[in-house]
């Protein structure tokens, strides 16, 4: 039985890219799983707050703050996986036109996009770390019903930036080795010997 794949995904993925794909797949999958669990917990907290408020006239004051904090983590943990699968916002008309009219122009646009995301990721890492360490040094806490050290939340920025930078490095390696991106089905395929 022959494996019917399109020619772009039938190419052998270079070993380095395949190894990075496996490692990053595990890391971003784990981060996305934590993000999904965070969404479920946040949903549970919101339901609890609504029931407590309207059912028992005892609104928990800490839920809104807690869910807001969780959303920062949910977004930062999910961003890399979303980027890796090509599901971030893009100018679809432009990228669609480039891919059908000029593969070279599409490749240049993909390279430019990866470099821009890489620069943004480095900025998140550096600025997020500096901000968190400054807040830690000054002992700044969140304001509101839940007071926690704000640097705990600010550390989510370099974490998300680091994950995005790893995904950007993978995307650049794919471009440099002419390996299809994951968004276009460029997964590492084992040889089908049946």
Q: Is residue 189 part of a domain?
A: no
Query: Average pLDDT, stretch 84-103?
Result: 68
Q: Is residue 92 part of a domain?
A: yes
Q: Is residue 159 part of a domain?
A: yes
Give tens-digit pLDDT for 126-171.
999 999 999 999 999 998 889 999 999 999 999 999 999 999 999 8
Domain count, the chain: 1
Q: Is residue 7 part of a domain?
A: no
Give tens-digit pLDDT for 1-60.
444 444 444 456 788 888 888 999 999 999 999 999 999 999 999 999 999 999 999 989
- pLDDT of 116 > 70? The answer is yes
Query: Average pLDDT, stretch 99-113?
Result: 78
Q: Is residue 73 part of a domain?
A: yes
Q: Is residue 190 part of a domain?
A: no
Task: Point out the least confidently predicted range of 7-11, 79-83, 94-98, 117-121.
Answer: 7-11
Distance, CA of 106 to CA of 111 (rounded, Å): 9
Q: Is residue 5 part of a domain?
A: no
- Per residue, the 3-state secondary structure of 14-32, as one string, reads CHHHHHHHHHHHHHHHHHH
Q: Is residue 50 part of a domain?
A: yes
Structural domain including 79 reads: 13-184
């Amino acid at each position: 039985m022959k494996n019917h794949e399109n020619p772009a995904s039938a190419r052998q993925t270079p070993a380095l890219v395949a190894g990075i794909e496996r490692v990053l797949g595990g890391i971003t999958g784990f981060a996305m799983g934590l993000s999904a669990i965070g969404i479920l917990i946040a949903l549970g907290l919101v339901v609890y707050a609504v029931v407590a408020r309207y059912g028992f006239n005892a609104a928990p004051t800490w839920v809104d703050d807690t869910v807001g904090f969780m959303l920062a983590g949910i977004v930062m943990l999910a961003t890399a996986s979303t980027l890796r699968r090509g599901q971030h916002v893009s100018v679809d008309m432009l990228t669609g036109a480039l891919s059908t009219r000029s593969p070279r122009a599409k490749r240049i646009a993909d390279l430019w996009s990866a470099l821009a995301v890489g620069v943004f990721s480095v900025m998140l890492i550096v600025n997020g770390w500096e901000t968190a360490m400054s807040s830690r040094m000054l002992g700044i806490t969140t304001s509101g019903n839940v007071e926690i050290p704000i640097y705990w939340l600010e550390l989510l920025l370099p974490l998300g930036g680091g994950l995005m930078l790893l995904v950007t490095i993978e995307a650049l390696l794919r471009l440099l080795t002419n390996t299809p991106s994951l968004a276009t089905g460029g997964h590492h395929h084992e040889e089908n010997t049946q």
